[in-house]
Amino acid sequence: MLNSDAWGLSSSGGPLAEVYDVALVDLDGVARKGHNRIEHATESLNQAHHQGLREVFVTNNAALTPSQVAEQLGTLGIECTPDDVMTAAMACGALLQTKLEPGAKVLVVGGSGLLQAVGDAGFTVIHSTEPNAADQYPDAVAMGYAPTVAWADLAEAAFAVQNGAWFVASNLDKSLPLARGNAPGNGALVGAVQAATGVTPASAGKPSPAMYLLVVSRTGAKNPLVIGDRLDTDLGGARAAGIPGLHVLTGVSSARDAVLAQPEYRPNYIGTDLRTLFETHVAPQEGPDGWWVSNGRAACVSDDGKLELDSQGPNGIDAVRAACAAVWAASDAGIKIDPASVPDFQVS
The residues annotated with a catalytic role in the active site are: 26, 28
Q: Give the separation between CA 168 and CA 166, rounded to whole angstroms.
A: 6
DSSP state of 235: I
Dihedral, CA of residue 145, residue 150, residue 153 and residue 158, to nearest 10: 90
Contact 282, 294 (CB under 8 A): yes
Please list the residues that pair with 59 across neighbouring strands. Answer: 87
- Concatenate the DSSP letters of all residues of 226-248 into one string: EEES-IIIIIHHHHHHT--EEEE
For residue 285, count other CB atoms closer than 10 A to its CB: 13
Task: Enter the DSSP assignment of 180.
Answer: T
Calpha distance 228→82 (Å, rounded)? 20
Distance CA 112, CA 134 (A): 22
φ/ψ (deg, to 5) at 19? -75, -35
3-state secondary structure of 231: helix
**Rounded Cα gap, residues 48 and 162, in angstroms:** 48
Q: What angle do CA 283, 279, 347 make, to 5 degrees?
A: 80
- Write phi, then psi, for 291 (nearest 5 degrees): -100, 140
DSSP β-bridge partners for residue 346: 315
Peptide bond preceding 15 in cis form (omega within 30 of 0): no
Q: Are 210 and 204 in contact (CB under 8 A)?
A: yes
